[in-house]
Amino acid sequence: MEGRQWYKEMAVYHIWPRSFCDGNGDGIGDLWGVLQKLDYIKSLHVDAIWFSPLYPSPNADFGYDISDYMDIHPDYGTLEVFQQLLEEAHKRGLRVFMDLVVNHSSDEHPWFQESRKGPESPYYDYYYWRPGHVGLTGRRHPPNNWTSLFEGGAWEYDEQRDEYYLHLFARKQPDLNMDNPKVREEVKRIMRFWLDMGVDGFREDVITFISKAPGLPNAYPKLPAANGLRHYSNRPAAYEYLKEFKRDVLDHYDCFTVGESPMTTPEIALRYVTEGPDQVLDEMIAFSHMEADCFLTDMVQRPFSLVKMKKAFSDWQNKLQGKAWNALYLENHDHARIISRYGSEEHHTESGKMLAAMYLLQRGTPFVYQGQEIGMLNLRLPSVDLYEDVMTKNGARIASRILPKSRVLKLIQQTSRDSARTPMQWTDGENAGFSTAKPWFFVNENYRQINVQAQEADPDSLLNFYRKLLKFRKEQPLVLYGTYREYRPKDKHFYTYERSYEGKKLLVICSFSAEALRWDAPEEIDLNQGTLVFSNYDMNFVIANGFTTRPYELRVYLFA
């Protein structure tokens, strides 16, 4: 068994600060609001907070376009307020992780503004600048045929420098040239700044994109989206740069790192997270289990496949077991709400509880996203134009080429990242208790039914279920360190798996159907020998070593 580091026994609460809680009454979530809610966060039985970016930013991608890596956005507060929050969090036993976004910066960062001045600038090659080429017709073309993940082509022409710069995401997010040792020293300086202040680690944004293929070659065959991906995803130098950051900075602190790596398999992740002398990250955030209702991106919709979702979870559980540690999540700032996707809005509480147990009882460090614990749902605005997110707008632009307006709107309502970014629903009062002013974005109309205040008062609520689950997980070495075994992977209606540790077993049974279906125990298991520790219904009879399910039924049995 791998060593017992503290991060393996923690659970993390993920805050998207703009929409969590407004403490100064301007309609925007901030650090004053988080300070007010620290006791609430602690009450969930989590051990850490991960903040999506708090840094100064023009908000082209709501904080993931950073104009100053060593300050706090005025909308959210000041460095002094952040230091106060850090102290108060630590007093409560809560660690704090920052979002490290160093694949790209904002085009308003001083580094980029200086690099535009040309060869005389010391920041000349902090970014990927290329002259492009002139075609047979005399027209100027970008340096290669790569496409951006957010906005059209991956190159933007800059008149001042008379060259193109690379942006794998939005136009206002130029990619940093990590091949330049000076840029890597800047990253180390950023890390030390926050770690010296007392921050406990980093979630590292698209960190496996930080190295590009030498010469930036064209990509063939040309794909309609993410063209060029193989030339910038998981390049060998990315590992070397992460190793350098670990050796020069992270190894000198008791800190945690989790990397985000789109379109990464367990085999690729193991290059980074296998425990031992070559490990460069503690964990890797997987995406494959979020592709059970889509293809590669949330925008390319397909019918939900439970078999596909189970295979993704089981692949990561099995292939990392005994070698590395998993990061577990169902929601974050990049995806629509999970009950609206994999559960049932009609059976809101039941499917919410089932989904919670389904992933929280697996092996790894769980992340819970703000509002997930009360079952917040997708936002369905009447017009595409009302959505704010740059990725949503790009998806709508591409979809409108092939779909009628009504279909595009429905697609955006189902998939937009904005659904995860609506203001947190604290009460059934004005603005859902998020702010005394008009919120910066739309509050979901269901806040009168779905809010923290109502669920606090209900012992059987989804919120209190999350608390019980997270507490149970923390107290059970079986859940923390047990092995994982899936039963019946081809079953289209049930996800059944077992955790085993030191003579104890936990059997997790999840129905993904609203239909009444028969579930029978595997031959080697006698349900009557187990203790029912979690369920989402009363009256849990066992008949002939099985039962007929109710909509989205969950049962968890402990065998001591």
Q: What is the CATH number of the domain that holds 66?
A: 3.20.20.80
**Looking at 186, 260, 331, 418, which residue is catalytic?**
260
Q: How confident is the model at residue 223, as a pLDDT?
A: 80
Number of domains in the chain: 5
Query: Does residue 24 form part of some domain?
Result: yes
Given 429, 447, 476, the domain boundary residue is 476
Query: Do 371 and 391 reside in the same domain of the chain?
Result: no
Tokens of 70: 């060593």
Looking at the DSSP assignment, which residues form a beta bridge with residue 340? none
- ω before 221 within 30° of 0 (cis)? yes
Instruction: Decide: 495 and 515 in contact? Cβ < 8 Å.
Output: no
291 is catalytic: no
Q: How confident is the model at residue 277, as a pLDDT?
A: 96
Q: How many helices (H) and strands (E) does the chain have?
A: 15, 22
415 to 132, 405, 419, 475: CA distances (angstroms): 35, 15, 8, 36
Query: Do 191 and 298 reside in the same domain of the chain?
Result: yes
Instruction: Decide: 447 and 453 in contact? Cβ < 8 Å.
Output: no
Query: Does residue 71 form part of some domain?
Result: yes
Query: Does residue 542 form part of some domain?
Result: yes
Query: Do 7 and 80 reside in the same domain of the chain?
Result: yes
Query: Does residue 244 form part of some domain?
Result: yes
Query: Do 435 and 500 reside in the same domain of the chain?
Result: no
Query: Do 315 and 203 reside in the same domain of the chain?
Result: yes
Confidence (pTM): 0.97
Query: Do 284 and 270 reside in the same domain of the chain?
Result: yes
CB count within 10 Å of CB 105 equals 28
If the chain, 560 residues long, is cut into consecutive pieces of 10 residues, what is the mean pLDDT of each piece? 81 98 98 98 98 98 98 98 98 98 98 96 97 90 95 94 97 98 98 98 98 97 86 97 98 98 95 97 96 91 97 98 98 98 98 99 98 98 96 92 95 97 98 98 98 98 98 97 98 98 98 98 97 98 98 98
Query: Do 90 and 129 reside in the same domain of the chain?
Result: no
d(CA 331, CA 342): 11
Given 476, 498, 513, the domain boundary residue is 476
Query: Do 282 and 402 reside in the same domain of the chain?
Result: no
CB count within 10 Å of CB 132 equals 15
Query: Does residue 336 form part of some domain?
Result: no
Domain extent for 200: 180-325
Query: Does residue 158 form part of some domain?
Result: yes
Which 3 state secondary structure label does DSSP give 37? coil
Q: How confident is the model at residue 368, as a pLDDT?
A: 99
Query: Do 424 and 454 reside in the same domain of the chain?
Result: yes
Which 3 state secondary structure label does DSSP give 379? coil
d(CA 147, CA 155): 8
Domain with residue 519: its CATH number is 2.60.40.1180
* Residues contacting 119, CB < 8 A, separation 6+: none
Query: Do 269 and 355 reside in the same domain of the chain?
Result: no
**Looking at 205, 291, 334, 350, which residue is catalytic?**
205
Query: Do 313 and 208 reside in the same domain of the chain?
Result: yes
Q: How confident is the model at residue 318, as a pLDDT?
A: 98
Query: Do 186 and 321 reside in the same domain of the chain?
Result: yes
Query: Does residue 52 form part of some domain?
Result: yes
Query: Does residue 549 form part of some domain?
Result: yes
293 is catalytic: no
